[in-house]
Amino acid sequence: MSSSTKPDSELDVPKERQPRHVAIIMDGNGRWAQRQELPRIRGHQQGAKTVRVITEECARIGIEQLTLYCLSSENWKRPEDELEFLMFLLSQYMIDERETMMENNIRLQIIGRRERIPADVQKEMDKSLEMTAGNTGTCLCLAINYGGRAEIVDATRKITQKVVSGELNADDISEELVSAHLYTAGMSDPDLLIRTAGEMRISNYLLWQISYAEMWVTQRMWPEFAIADFHEAIIDFSNRSRRFGGLNT
């Protein structure tokens, strides 16, 4: 657990000790705003700036994939005006960050159910997906209207349909087959899961994929999360022993 206040610095971790895939639960936007005596939406605005900073740093140091929990399937319970602003912010992010993604060779990916996302927002999402599809650097995956249980349910439905149609036999079902039918098909599993704002739960996020992820929690709210904090998480990860259920040799 960390509450680092040290300044940003160069990351001194060998490439082979860095995580390939970092997943982040970006928590604390509203609480940060309230502490500043600001409207909650200001927290979301500041959080979007943090997304840019951390995404660019991932591209700079060669992190292969960054997956961010932007909007959970449970977040629709929030006040209508806040949800409307989040959709506006998402649309603006897609427009404003295209240049940054192209300059940093970042490829965008989006996971989650699309049904409740407004059509105009989906249009901007698709533009960014198409524009960055040929990029070969860091993959930025945004989890939008995402829920881990819903993802597993959707994968189960797809597999069941293939069994019923005769395309698959029940005996064909394996961990690899399930992974291939998740939203994250083709991605590596997260090596490092970061959660901000001090909460000690995973909140229905990447339930299948984080089975062996290393967890790192900081008291810092997402809007104040800095490169120095990100570096500290990676350094801590690099010093851990990952046994995947086995023993050290």
Nearest to 195 by CA among 174, 181, 216: 216
State the pLDDT at residue 74.
85
State the pLDDT at residue 75.
84
* Angle between helices 227-238 and 40-61 in degrees, nearest 10: 50
Q: What is the CATH number of the domain that holds 103?
A: 3.40.1180.10
Residues 6 or more apart whose Cβ sits within 8 Å of residue 96: none
CB atoms near residue 13 (< 10 Å):
16
Q: Is residue 163 domain-resident?
A: no
Nearest to 94 by CA among 142, 40, 54, 50: 142
Q: Is residue 51 domain-resident?
A: yes
pLDDT averaged over every residue in the chain: 93
Token pair of 65 as six digits: 């994939």
Token pair of 148 as six digits: 């881990």
247: pLDDT strictly greater than 70: no
Say whether 94 sits in a helix, a strand or coil: helix
Q: Is residue 158 domain-resident?
A: no
Q: Produce one character per residue of 27-45: b if its CB has 16 or more CB atoms within 10 Å, e if not.
A: bbbbbbbeeeeeebbbbbb
- Range scoring the smallest mean pLDDT among 43-57, 71-85, 163-177, 228-242: 71-85
State the pLDDT at residue 4.
42
Q: Stretch 115-129: mean pLDDT, rounded?
A: 96
Could you say which DSSP state residue 22 is in?
E
Q: How far is it, in rounded angstroms, from Cα 203 to Cα 69? A: 10
Q: How confident is the model over 9-68, as pLDDT tens digits?
A: 689 999 999 999 999 999 999 999 999 999 999 999 999 999 999 999 999 999 999 999
Q: How confident is the model over 188-216, as pLDDT tens digits?
A: 999 999 999 999 999 999 999 999 999 99
Q: Is residue 73 domain-resident?
A: yes
| Residue pointed to by tokens 């860091």 | 138
Q: Is residue 109 domain-resident?
A: yes
Residue type (1 letter), 246: G
State the pLDDT at residue 5.
38
Q: Is residue 11 domain-resident?
A: no
Confidence class for position 6, pLDDT limits 50, 70, 90: very low
Q: Is residue 211 domain-resident?
A: yes
Confidence class for position 79, pLDDT limits 50, 70, 90: confident
State the pLDDT at residue 2.
44
Q: Stretch 132-143: mean pLDDT, rounded?
A: 98
Confidence class for position 176, pLDDT limits 50, 70, 90: very high
Range of the domain at 203: 17-147+190-237
Share of the chain above pLDDT 70, in %: 94
Residues marked active site are found at: 27, 75
8: pLDDT strictly greater than 70: no
Q: Is residue 182 domain-resident?
A: no
Q: How many domains does the chain have?
A: 1
pTM: 0.92
